[in-house]
Chains A and B, each alone.
Chain A
Amino acid sequence: MNGTRRVEPWVKRLWLSTWPLWALLAFASLAAVRLLPKGDAAASLAAAILLIVPGSLTLGAVFNPRRRPRGLVFVCYAALLSAVLSAFSSLVLYACGVLITAESTYWCLLALLTVLVITAEARLLLARPTKGRRAAHKLEALNSYHSDAGTDDETSAASRNSGYYSIVAAVAGVSLLAGGLYAYDRLPHPAPTGYTWMAWTGPAAQGDIAIGSSGTELSFQIVHHQSDNTTFKLSAWWLGTPSRSLAKSVTLSVGTNQTYQGTLFVPQLPNGCTYRIVVSLTAARQIDPLTKKRQVWSINADVHDLAKSSRTCR
């Protein structure tokens, strides 16, 4: 105990007179934190540094140590100012034409904080009219949020108690949020609704699809994200009045979460006309809830033979 008593004032004095430097060091260590294995611990540490240090140093630079807000007011201002400084640093980078990246933000904030540390340290040096334990104690005790009784031991104790209570409250609050979220996550939730889709694959055409002299294969995909097996009829059409079949229909039974790759061979076209082809997928039993008819999916495309002049189209 005696040893602790001997060390305590010394540590306290050192802390009170050099805390901006330690805070800057903590911020600088963000570079090292980034090297840690990614995870909740590293993220929490980095977040705590980023959301407390810049604001604390701002308060240290702006306020005379005797007038500086303390306790929860200090924490709230420090956190808000930290967020604000992050935003301002992005603005500075943008104005300077520097890309906003993790590195540039870090160096910009570090430069800004260095200026703030110099100011804060200067304030600490200038605001030291007396020496020794009493002076150090005054710095600790003056607290605009808990300053009602001045700078005596009782206030300091009240301030400390308030800090402890608030820390307990914050821990309880965070635990409740985390616990609530965990419990909610573990409860049974309704299964996400399934779906089926079909789409063209292969190179994306800008306009009509060119059909070569030996015909062309057009590929497409069918994705079935449903919890049950479904039977479909796949067919292809020449769209028109009337529409006519382009290929023999295929019946397929698609299982849960299955993907099918399909191809449609379009033969050489007889002339330079543009034709519209349609590939459609019709569910054997599934009823469209909107139309109350059998559910149909379709995709279409315009095709023509590039080698033939549109003048041959009559």
Chain B
Amino acid sequence: MTATPYQRQLDSISDREPSVSYSRVTHRSRDAHHSRPAPNMSVYLLAAAFVACELAGVAAMIRAYQIAQTTVSSTSEFAWFWIGMLLVELPLAGLIGRRATSRNIRIALITFYGFVSYLPKLLRNPASPIYHDEYAHWLATDEILTTGKLFQPNTIIPIISRYPGLHAATAALVHATGLTIWSAATLLLILFHVTLVLGIAALAQALGFDNRTASLIAILYALNSSFLYFDTQYAYESMAITLLVWTLVAYIRAIRSQPGEGQVAWSVLTVVLSAAAVITHHLSTITLVLIMALVALAMSLPWLARGEGWGRAAGLAWGLTLSTALVAGAWFHFVAPTTLSYLSPYLGEGLSELMQAAEGSGGARQLFGASLSPWWEQKAAYAVTVFALFLAVAGLLVIRAWIRDGRLPQGCRRALLSAFAVLGLLYFPSTVFILSPAGAEGARRSWAFTWIGLSMLVGPAAVWLLDWTRRSMYRWRRVSFRSGLVIALAVALVGGTAAGLNASYRFPGSFLYGSDTRSITPELLAASEWFSARFGTNNNIVTDRYTGLIFGSFGLQNIASPSAGFPVYNMYLAKPGAPIEPAFLFYDLSSSHYTYLIVDARMAYDTPELGVYFTPNDPTSVQPRGTKSPFYGRLNKFNTVQWAVKVFQSDNYSIYRFIQLTMPISYQQQPPTSRGKPGKVLQGKLTVTP
């Protein structure tokens, strides 16, 4: 099978659609090439309207961010933002779904969408990291640039030091261009984001969908909760998700190619890209292996895949899966042995919490409990699952119809499509985990992967609905149905994003205690700068999560990781005058050379927006009790304890230096008196000059 009939076969899968068949496109392009007929006035009007919508959309998004920055409490930023996003996305989706749009224009529109959908994140933090994980990855890159070595310890997220793919790529770009870390990171992130959108379309084409369906699938994938903000942050998953998608493209191409017709090359590409995913991100690697195994399994089922050369294709699929699994296994074993212990609690605890909730012995997580999102965003988030379920069922029916009428005969394509359909259907059981405190994060992160399959399932259904309304309706009904589809798309876009990161991650705003993104103030940055200038870098420090982000990243200090075995939060929690428990804590701090304690006074008065003061695994005693902080009235003790002196204080931050933790020398409670003058306190002198 040569590339030509192969592609024709792919194109035939979804349609009897006359307008975008390849022959007509090439005919048009030939016409365009030779005679260049003057475009219709309506084309110009359409183009002008499209450009106007995009510009207005961008303007509305900018307005949303400006409102969020300058208004203390308002939900109008949400309205402006979604007006902007809908102005950007809906006309684009409409043009892509339009049958008369040429494939070249569709590809251009998808490319354009890749760029413009990066704007929300670009506006959020154009100049420096602000998301929690971004600080850790920024630090990892900085370590490569300053030490010239990989695998340097990372105190903010220790596991990322074992996955240097993104950091090494950024460091190389910094070396070559002289850009700052953040500028190079932004450049790479835009590249990964745009290629992710194009990769989904390429994957859909590799699976046999025509250009129109593939482009719509890319737009539908962009509705997942990670797309706009999470997978655009400077973190290893942003690079890995793109690598995963393009590895799958190469993998599918390898399976579908004949020997001697690029099969070896596509296989080599699969191995190289999967190895890159392995050194970049653990979860993406595991998911990649699982998806490849799912595809290989589908290729091994005779009732799905039997056809010419299917045994060889299945063998190749298993071979590539095995090679990826081996590379991943070797990396986990030799380079990143802590990976499984890092990941397993999320699934294990998530499952056990769900079981407890089902048995009534534990409480389920309250959805949108502390969310700043308006009610309509929250409702839309629920609606996404319903719409997705409806369209997934429709997608399954479309596939069934193709099988029945012979358009999807037994063979490679049927097997591949079935595998991706199964992947997509996994989204629905994963939504249950959102009710578990430990499993919610894992569930959300899995959606970026399951939506690859889901969009492959939902895309054909969406195209079928569009064509069905066109074929079988009166004009007014057609308009109503299509309006309904547009509204559904709008709701899914709003809800999909709302189901992801919290509003404090998405919008700028005034200071918000305990929010990662809005806890960073000029005061904190100044304190960190002063500390590094005075005491140098690499000091071991005890502090809370939000202060530690800045001191640990820009300040290049080592922040303690609190845990049950190293409960440094007990220092904050102890009542004034009471001993710090457990007794071994001071010994541990002293033997590990912890020398500074940093206290944010707001810990005693405010409850953090994210619900944690130190880590998500904080014991109950360290968690906020309603609106009351467990540290209320407990922090002033540091001014008088024997084992620490205060070397710095700003409006909110106090920095203490530990002195003789294990054998503190008591200072006198009575002031010194002048010799020969009992009762007269020794006097010094204060002078101050500007």
Chain B neighbourhood of A168, CB < 8 A: 108
Size of interface on A: residues with Cβ below 8 Å to B: 137
Interface string of A160-177 (1 = CB under 8 A from B): 011001101110111011
For the complex, give the distance between the alpha carbons of A234 and B690 in Å: 14
For the complex, give the distance between the alpha carbons of A136 and B485 in Å: 47
Chain A neighbourhood of B670, CB < 8 A: 240-241
Chain A neighbourhood of B32, CB < 8 A: 157, 161
Interface string of A53-64 (1 = CB under 8 A from B): 000001000111
For the complex, give the distance between the alpha carbons of A294 and B397 in Å: 70
CB distance from A95 to the nearest CB of B (A): 9
CB distance from A267 to the nearest CB of B (A): 5
Question: Contact between B176 and A162 (Cβ–Cβ < 8 Å)?
Answer: no
A112 within 8 A of B: no
Interface string of B168-209 (1 = CB under 8 A from A): 110111011111000110011011001100110010010000
For the complex, give the distance between the alpha carbons of A243 and B645 in Å: 16
Closest residue of chain A to B682 (Cβ to Cβ) is A267
Interface string of B674-687 (1 = CB under 8 A from A): 11000001111111
Question: Contact between A84 and B243 (Cβ–Cβ < 8 Å)?
Answer: yes
Closest residue of chain B to A100 (Cβ to Cβ) is B148
B112 within 8 A of A: yes
B471 within 8 A of A: no
For the complex, give the distance between the alpha carbons of A154 and B24 in Å: 11
Task: Kindly name the residue among A99, A154, A239, A267 whose own CB sees the greatest number of chain B CB atoms within 10 A.
Answer: A154
A21 within 8 A of B: no
Interface residue stretch chosen among B114-122, B493-501, B573-581: B114-122
Closest residue of chain B to A87 (Cβ to Cβ) is B168
Closest residue of chain A to B112 (Cβ to Cβ) is A169
Chain A neighbourhood of B268, CB < 8 A: 62
For the complex, give the distance between the alpha carbons of A68 and B415 in Å: 26
**B54-88 at interface with A (beta carbon < 8 Å):** 54-55, 58-59, 61-62, 65-66, 69-70
For the complex, give the distance between the alpha carbons of A190 and B683 in Å: 46
Question: Contact between B190 and A63 (Cβ–Cβ < 8 Å)?
Answer: no
Partner of B191, one of A51, A196, A269: A51
Partner of A174, one of B23, B115, B198, B667: B115
B651 within 8 A of A: yes
For the complex, give the distance between the alpha carbons of A293 and B367 in Å: 38
Chain A neighbourhood of B115, CB < 8 A: 169-170, 172-174, 176-177
B583 within 8 A of A: no
Task: Kindly name the residue among B4, B23, B151 whose own CB sees the greatest number of chain A CB atoms within 10 A.
Answer: B4
Question: Contact between B276 and A87 (Cβ–Cβ < 8 Å)?
Answer: yes
Question: Contact between A158 and B104 (Cβ–Cβ < 8 Å)?
Answer: yes
For the complex, give the distance between the alpha carbons of A177 and B602 in Å: 37
For the complex, give the distance between the alpha carbons of A271 and B670 in Å: 12
Partner of A260, one of B108, B242, B665, B689: B689
Question: Contact between B265 and A67 (Cβ–Cβ < 8 Å)?
Answer: yes
Interface residue stretch chosen among B424-432, B520-528, B540-548: B520-528
**A101-B148, A204-B534, A274-B667 known; A148 and B22 CB under 8 Å?**
yes
Question: Contact between B673 and A290 (Cβ–Cβ < 8 Å)?
Answer: no
**A158-B104, A166-B107, A244-B671 known; A260 and B175 CB under 8 Å?**
no
**A165-B105, A166-B107, A173-B114 known; A197 and B666 CB under 8 Å?**
no
Chain A neighbourhood of B188, CB < 8 A: 83
B3 within 8 A of A: yes
**B565-585 at interface with A (beta carbon < 8 Å):** none
Partner of B172, one of A90, A177, A185, A200: A90
Interface residue stretch chosen among A10-18, A126-134, A295-303: A295-303
A24 within 8 A of B: no
For the complex, give the distance between the alpha carbons of A179 and B280 in Å: 32
Question: Contact between A225 and B150 (Cβ–Cβ < 8 Å)?
Answer: no
Partner of B690, one of A30, A183, A258: A258
For the complex, give the distance between the alpha carbons of A51 and B522 in Å: 35
Interface string of A173-209 (1 = CB under 8 A from B): 1101101110111011110111111111100100110
CB distance from A126 to the nearest CB of B (A): 13
Question: Contact between A301 and B205 (Cβ–Cβ < 8 Å)?
Answer: no
Task: Kindly name the residue among B107, B144, B273, B530 whose own CB sees the greatest number of chain A CB atoms within 10 A.
Answer: B107
B648 within 8 A of A: yes
Chain A neighbourhood of B527, CB < 8 A: 197
B349 within 8 A of A: no
A270 within 8 A of B: yes
B604 within 8 A of A: yes
Chain B neighbourhood of A271, CB < 8 A: 672
Question: Contact between A270 and B673 (Cβ–Cβ < 8 Å)?
Answer: yes
B668 within 8 A of A: yes
For the complex, give the distance between the alpha carbons of A46 and B187 in Å: 12
For the complex, give the distance between the alpha carbons of A102 and B172 in Å: 7
**B110-168 at interface with A (beta carbon < 8 Å):** 111-112, 114-116, 118-119, 122-123, 126, 144, 148-151, 164-166, 168
For the complex, give the distance between the alpha carbons of A90 and B168 in Å: 6
B535 within 8 A of A: yes
For the complex, give the distance between the alpha carbons of A38 and B27 in Å: 48
**A100-B150, A199-B647 known; A42 and B178 CB under 8 Å?**
yes
CB distance from A281 to the nearest CB of B (A): 9
Question: Contact between A170 and B111 (Cβ–Cβ < 8 Å)?
Answer: yes
Question: Contact between B522 and A298 (Cβ–Cβ < 8 Å)?
Answer: no
B7 within 8 A of A: yes
CB distance from B107 to the nearest CB of A (A): 6
CB distance from B600 to the nearest CB of A (A): 10
- Chain B interface residues (CB < 8 Å from chain A): 3-4, 7-8, 11, 22-23, 25-27, 29-30, 32-33, 54-55, 58-59, 61-62, 65-66, 69-70, 103-105, 107-109, 111-112, 114-116, 118-119, 122-123, 126, 144, 148-151, 164-166, 168-169, 171-173, 175-179, 183-184, 187-188, 190-191, 194-195, 198-199, 202, 205, 239, 242-243, 246, 249, 253, 261-262, 265, 268-269, 272-273, 276, 279-280, 510-511, 521-523, 526-527, 530, 534-535, 601-602, 604-605, 639-640, 645-653, 655, 659-660, 665-675, 681-690
8 tightest Cβ-Cβ pairs between the two chains A and B: A173-B115, A99-B148, A238-B671, A67-B262, A86-B172, A197-B650, A90-B168, A102-B175
Q: Can you show 21 pairs from A to B with CB atoms below 8 A apart?
A: A46-B176, A47-B177, A62-B265, A63-B262, A76-B202, A84-B272, A87-B165, A99-B149, A100-B144, A148-B22, A173-B114, A188-B70, A193-B521, A195-B523, A195-B651, A196-B651, A201-B534, A236-B686, A250-B688, A252-B688, A290-B602
